Structure 1
Amino acid sequence: MPRTPELTKGRERFRGQKKGVALGLTFLLLSLAAYHLMRFTAAGWNAAHTGDCRDLMSSRFFYNDLFTVMIFTDVVILILSLVISGRYEMVFRNAAFVVSIILIRFSLTEGRPYGAALALLSMVFGILTLFVFNYHSYLRASEALEMSATDH
């Protein structure tokens, strides 16, 4: 991308916004982990004293909550990135990462063997997205080099 003062200022603002989102996400995830650890500890204490282990199974909900937070964070970053660049390949990459995280989230709620297959599909989708993004970025960089070579 060209380095104009407006774009440079926008990139710096975007980096600051991403840092703010990252700090908020860190606080939220630490709080979420502490909450679920306290729930698991209380359920373990209850299971040790009463023999009822049903509450221990609810501890797996941490991962569902974790990926739900990640989905919303990715959507926020996608929206913030649109301010900087509306380029197709950037929007495609960021939106595809949101879809990949959603597929991982769904894989956690599916039983065997569908959950594992859905998680693998999500991973393959993310890798293919990176290949497409890198290819389009290479094409754009090649076009920019050709244009700058013809200008001189």
Structure 2
Amino acid sequence: MIEQTLTVVSVKGTTATLKPQAKKACEGCNGKCGSQIFAKLFGNKEALFDFDFQQQLEPGQQVLFGLDDSHVVKSSFLTYLLPLLFAIATAIFAAEVLFLPEGWQIILAFSAGFAGYLCAKFYLKAVKHHIEVIKIYPISSSPAQIDGD
């Protein structure tokens, strides 16, 4: 299970707007890796999420969420490998069965890769990620203090 702590920014009824805590990609390379360079180039955009709770929350309160990681693996497989497999299979088919020239093989491989991307995108719209609230921290104490029980 993947866990993330979010902070309540605002509340409307039982719907709270949440902001994730900022995390650096890694600190092992002191900012010399590609992740750090891209983060500096494109800036840090704050993402806000709305979530319905069954109880009233207050701004500043922190909530620990959990995401079932089996869906993440399946989603990653579809997003990255399906277009690649479509492209490779089509390129082999165009070369070995249809005996097309190299230019046409490349065009068909790119087209099939894009078709694989569209198939993955269509399928992933139907996937529902199971997000659950693991813990709601009281406003008076930080998660580090509570987790140290």
- TM-score bracket, shorter-length normalisation: 0.3 to 0.5
Compute the TM-score of the two structures, normalised by the length of structure 2: 0.34
Q: Larger strand proportion, structure 1 or 2?
A: 2
Report 1 or 2 for greater relative contact order, CA contacts < 8 Å, sequence distance ≥ 6. Answer: 2
**TM-score, normalised to structure 1's length?**
0.33
More helix by share: 1
